[in-house]
Structure 1
Amino acid sequence: MKRFTTLDVSSPPYSSHHYPGKVFDFVDEIIAGGVRIEGMLTESLTGKSAPEFSGLRGWLNTPPLTVARLRGKVVLLDFWTYSCVNCVRSLPHMKMLHKEYAGGPFVLIGVHTPEFEFEKLPENVASAVKRFGIGYPVAIDSENTTWKLYGNQYWPRQTLIDSSGMVRWEHAGEGDYDKMGDRIRDLLKETGRQEESKDNARSNILENFRFMPNTTPEIYAGTLRSQGFGNGQVYEPGSRTRFIDPGKHSRDMPYLGGDWTQFPEYVVHATTESGYILLKYGARNANAVLGASDTKPVRVDVELDGKPIEKGKAGADIQWDSMGSFLLVAENRLYDIVRTKDFETHELKLITKADDLRLYTYTFG
């Protein structure tokens, strides 16, 4: 049996990755150039023994598992976080792999590793697992301990471990799901289980992400990774500031209107008077990680190019009433706002009178 020891970081247009700010500009430049990305992991573990799980705050859908006790099984680790759009788009493929190979010597484990503070709470992870209909085991890695042991830097990432406990394949980003299935089958054959070769029919029934050149990059709002706002005025992080919209807007730059305060992870609306966040972007899909400090739902009116969003362009979280299109932000999570079939350029405006609406980040596809 041919052994494979491959670090596979997918290339556009078949994948997209969610990166921390410290490597984002470098990676975005590579993606824009359309070249294959290699060696982006802090440390590749391919060909080495898989580290034991460590520092977990709990498990969902299973009693606690260990790498040692999983010997004899092929194990796929999917590192993800529930507010990452790239991870969310990969979940149907993970669920299909779980369904296809469950019952044999194969285990798929979602390792939930947070990007934001609110994602650290086990109850929030449990809510997300239920919302997405995930039935396979999920490890709650709230302090990023296991994430670091596996040399990770971004979401999503998959690590495939053979029945002897050795890391045999690593992959970052979306895409290559058929290749992932091929690798799983190869390792299952090594255990003595014969798997018939599958064609591409199973993955073709799911939407595969296609990277579109010139897509607006992820835009963070908090001081930790923000590139600033387009208002062109001086403001002090942590202090309430009245932002004046200059009226002319550059693409890929957020603009604030009204009173806002910037904190490390987010910017928050600071008054019950009307305020807004405006962004001119280019993409097929537009999403935002939003939240509120209170448990009471917050209304956010949504305009696309100065008008309510048409139903043919609305994301799954958009609602309508006599006043127009809106979101109800009831929890800290990713909100699906705009979906179009083709790449388009629009001005997206989020308007609120709530004094605790938080914007963490915009993501696009």
Structure 2
Amino acid sequence: MLAESLTGKTAPEFSNLRGWVNTSPLTMTGLRGKVVLLDFWTYSCVNCVRSLPHMKLLHKEYAGDTFVLIGVHTPEFEFERIPENVASAVKRFGIGYPVAIDSENTTWRLYGNQYWPRQTVIDSKGTVRWEHAGEGDYDKMEDRIRDLLKETGKLADNKIKAGSNKLEKFGFVQNTTPEIYMGTLRSQGFGNGQVCVPGSCTRYIDPGKHSRDVPYLSGDWTQFPEYVMHETDESGYVLLKYGARNTNAVLGVSDTKPVRLNVQLDGKPIEKGKAGADIQWDSTGGYLVVAENRLYVIVRTKAFEIHELKLVTNSDDLRFYTYTFG
């Protein structure tokens, strides 16, 4: 589903960008003669991150004189507007294709977008020929690109498909916990039955009984528009009973000092067999180190499972933006 379809229309020009990564500035006019794939993404979005291997494979197989893939980085959170943060994320993910920094969401709006990720395929004459919102349909995407390359006469008849559908797929499992936002702008509320914003209460008390898919806070937290922030060096935690295979969180700090979170699953230190890629270990068990604002992979299991995840901190600088699941 797309907010506004541009299929059959001239692709809008890039506008009001804050810069580029991996290239000098590009224009849609200057790209005439090439087939162009625009991938609208943001680096804290788990759906976008899962689509990156498919984008990288298409770039590897087809980039050249007649095809270019451009990532249009459009932020969801304020910290993603900073060009240096975008450049760091591009390097961390090993992205080699051009990335436009659309920090004011201007190009995003020109393309009628409301979703991360979203792909737009443009032919060599500058006309939008195919659009897609969300993950998936990578085989169809590659077919459309190949069709347009054939129109230019530049795709060899014996060129084998990259076959990005062979990469790991992340299908939807019924009853998977939906994305949960912690800030006032999009929060559905906490199980504590109270909200502490600047100038009001800060102390949350865990009631002890927990409903599924509802976050619970314990300790001194304050809710801001995009996140909740732990305000003291006394121990506090965020707890969530969820159902999913993979669990991630967008976390951050305002200072440069790293923050440690101890990770518990069902009241015990997380097991190595269930730990996500960002979990580290010491004699006390698994923990996270939050040193920058980004998506952290916390739990990864082989199948859909229901667990109670507790993230414990004694930092007065932890920001918790959102949970995402898969």
Is the shorter-chain TM-score for this pair beyond 0.5, marking a shared fold? yes
CA distance in 1: counterparts of 2:150 and 2:299, whole angstroms: 43
- 1:80 Cα deviation after fit: 0.1
Pair 1:294 & 2:255 matched: yes
State the match for 1:130 in structure 2.
Answer: 91
User: Which of 33, 41, 53 pairs up with 1:72?
Assistant: 33
Partner of 2:49, secondary structure, is helix
Aligned counterpart for 1:108 among listed residues 64, 69, 76: 69
CA distances 1:86-108 after superposition (whole Å, capped 9, x unpaired): 00000000000000001240000
1:231 to 182, 192, 195: 192
> What amino acid does structure 2 have at the position aligned with 1:45?
L
Consecutive unaligned residues in structure 1, runs of 5 or more = 1-39
Matched, 1:172 2:133: yes
Whether contact under 8 Å (1:304, 1:346) holds in the other structure is yes
Deviation at 1:339, TM superposition (A): 0.4
Q: Give the secondary-structure state (helix, strand or coil) at the position aligned to 1:66.
A: coil
TM-score normalised by length of structure 2: 0.97
Aligned equivalents of 1:175 and 1:75: distance in 2?
19
1:276 aligns with 2:241: no
Contact 2:259/2:291, CA 8 A, preserved across alignment: yes
Q: Secondary structure at the match of 2:125?
A: coil
Query: Do the aligned residues in 1 keep the contact of 2:197 with 2:224 (CA within 8 Å)?
Result: no
Instruction: Provide the C-alpha distance between the structure 1 equivalents of 2:234 and 2:165, rounded to a whole number of angstroms.
Output: 48
- In the alignment, what sits opposite 1:308? 269
Deviation, 1:313, is: 0.8
Distance 1:164 1:297, change over 3 A: same
| Distance in 2 separating the partners of 1:232 and 1:47 | 50
Cα deviation for residue 317 of structure 1 reads 0.1
4+ long deviations beyond 6 Å = 197-201
Between the aligned partners of 1:308 and 1:199, the Cα distance in structure 2 is 47
Report the AA paired with residue 119 of structure 1. Answer: E
Deviation at 1:193, TM superposition (A): 1.5
In the alignment, the residues of structure 2 paired with residue 226 and residue 215 of structure 1 have an alpha-carbon distance, to the nearest angstrom, of 18
- Partner residue of 1:346 out of 295, 307, 322: 307
Distance 1:136 1:269 in 2: 38
Task: Encode CA deviations 1:290-346: one digit per residue, 9 max, x unaligned.
Answer: 001111110000001011111111100001101111000000000000001100000
Q: Which amino acid aligns with 1:249?
A: H
Report the 3-state secondary structure (helix = DSSP H, G, I; strand = E; otherwise coil) of the residue aligned with 1:287: strand
Deviations 1:48-68 (A, max 9, x none): 000000010000000100000
Aligned to 1:189: 150
Equivalents in 1 of 2:157, 2:68: separation in Å? 19
Aligned to 1:257, which of 218, 227, 236? Answer: 218
Aligned to 1:133, the other structure's residue is in SS state coil
> What is the DSSP-based 3-state SS (H/G/I as helix, E as strand, rest coil) of the residue aligned with 2:89?
helix
| Aligned counterparts of 1:349 and 1:230: Cα–Cα separation in 2 | 14
Runs (5+) with no aligned partner, structure 2: none
Q: Give the letter for the 1:247 counterpart.
A: G
Query: Which residue of structure 1 aligns with residue 288 of structure 2?
Result: 327
User: TM-score, normalised to structure 1's length?
Assistant: 0.87
- Cα 1:198–1:223 shift into 2, 3 Å: farther
Match of residue 279 from structure 2? 318
Aligned length: 326
3-state SS of paired residue (1:68): coil
- Corresponding residue for residue 24 of structure 1: none
Decide whether the 8 Å contact of 2:75 with 2:105 is kept in 1: yes
Q: In the TM superposition, what is the alpha-carbon distance from 1:286 to its structure 2 partner?
A: 0.2
| Separation (CA, whole Å) in 1 of partners of 2:162 and 2:71 | 24
Q: Matches of 1:362 and 1:259 in 2, distance apart?
A: 20
Give the AA of the match of 2:141: M
8 Å contact 1:60–1:139 — kept in the other structure? yes
The answer as to 2:202 corresponding to 1:241 is yes
Q: Are 1:120 and 2:50 matched, yes or no?
A: no
Q: CA RMSD in A?
A: 1.4
Go from structure 1 to structure 2 and tell me whether the alpha carbon gap of 1:160 and 1:201 turns closer, same or farther (over 3 Å shift): closer
Decide whether aligned partners of structure 1 residues 103 and 233 sit closer, same or farther in structure 2, where only a CA change above 3 A counts.
closer
2:183 and 2:20 map into 1 onto residues whose CA distance is 30
